[in-house]
Amino acid sequence: MNWLPLADKVRSKDGRCSFLLFPRLSDPDHAALYRSDIQSFARITAPIDKDFAFCETTESACVAAIQRCVTEEHYDGILLTTCHVGPELKLKEWVQAVSPRTRVIGLQHGFVQPWGYYETLFDSFDYLGVFGQAFVDRLSPQFRERTTALSLPLLDSYRIDRQPDDEIVLFALQKDLTPDVVKRLSSEIEASSGKKVVLRPHPEHVANYDGLRQTFAFSDPTEPLSRALQRVSGVITSGSTLALASLSMNIPTAVVPHLGGEEYEPFGIVADEMAASPILQILDRFKEPSFRTQLNKTLEAYTGRAGQRVEYAFDTLRRLLTPMDSRATRQPRAFSNNWLRRILKRPFA
């Protein structure tokens, strides 16, 4: 959902933004791709299996359908919300075979990403759009000219004015954090802080933690994250993009050194070890005004300026897709034929 507000923005500017969907049937998150508000803009929906192979059609039939769509609609650009795995790696070849002018833009999928691997895939897209300038700097110099900071549009949909329960801390669980570790950490945090820990596993891994349901409360996985965050006084997670959401809502957030959590070191929110004491120390740091000031500067470097992210992403994308000759005459081509690919939750997220 990171880029969905950009699609809404295109349409609000009298543009056209269609969806090409590759729901991965093994991923519970992808059920959202069948929602009516998504399907109403879908031109093609082609499910794929856990190995990213087409389930209900052949690749050749899907390619033919995509090429017909591109030929009919004359899209200016294709945005790949997943650009490092699956059929999308071939989309540029398929699309530009019939529409060489259509630009293909890969988009950053999550906070922790294998940037070295992205660099090996640059033949699969014309440009790479990332959340913020700090991510541009992660790439080797030869790839930075084709990388642009678009911001993280979804963050501006999260409300800062909320009414938290001071007694609840949300523990957002990624894969590979064992139930035993979760039980130990959660028990220690509850005992040390007097607060209630509520567990929210990633939808793909809910069953891994069923054994803890008799001991801890669980967040409803069907409840939107934005709503769940409204009620909590603190968040604990690992290398998840969820931390960016909670930080944008001014929620004290601690990241454990697990599954890429160390990537959050520039924010000053990574616990020294997998133990309650350093985690609670991080949460306490949010009481310091100077800490929050510096953290907000870091958040802007990584995700764009608060309140302006959607507008900035739209303007940057429009400049990227406007031909140079149109810019010179100050008559940019109407931003009316754009195609945003929507795929939710992929590996490395």
Mean pLDDT taken over the chain: 89
Digit-coded pLDDT (tens) for 188-221: 999 999 999 999 998 888 889 999 999 999 999 8
**pLDDT (tens digit, 9 = 90+) per residue, 340-349?**
433 222 333 3
What is residue 78's predicted lDDT score, i.e. its pLDDT? 95
Write down the domain spans for the chain.
Answer: 4-152+304-331, 157-303
pLDDT in tens, 163-188: 888 899 999 998 778 999 999 999 99
179 in Cβ contact with 212 (< 8 Å): yes
What CATH number was assigned to the domain covering residues 4-152+304-331? 3.40.50
User: Which of 244, 259, 257, 247 is CA-nearest to residue 283?
Assistant: 247
**Domain 157-303 listed as CATH 3.40.50.2000:** yes
Is 8 in a helix, a strand, or coil? helix
What is the pLDDT, as a whole number, of residue 323? Answer: 63
**Alpha-carbon gap, residue 184 to 181, rounded angstroms:** 5
Closest among 23, 21, 19, 24 to 8, alpha carbons compared: 19
The pTM for the full model equals 0.88
Rounded alpha-carbon distances, angstroms, from residue 243 to 111, 239, 256: 9, 8, 11
- Cα 307 to its chain centre, rounded Å, is 17
- CA dihedral of 117, 119, 8, 230, whole degrees rounded to 10: 50
> pLDDT > 70: what percent of the chain?
92
What are 298-348's pLDDT values in tens digits? 999 999 999 999 999 999 999 999 864 444 444 433 333 333 433 222 333
Q: In angstroms, rounded to a whole number, what is the distance separating the alpha carbons of residues 119 and 347?
A: 17
What pLDDT was estimated at residue 224? 87
The SS3 assignment for 103 reads strand
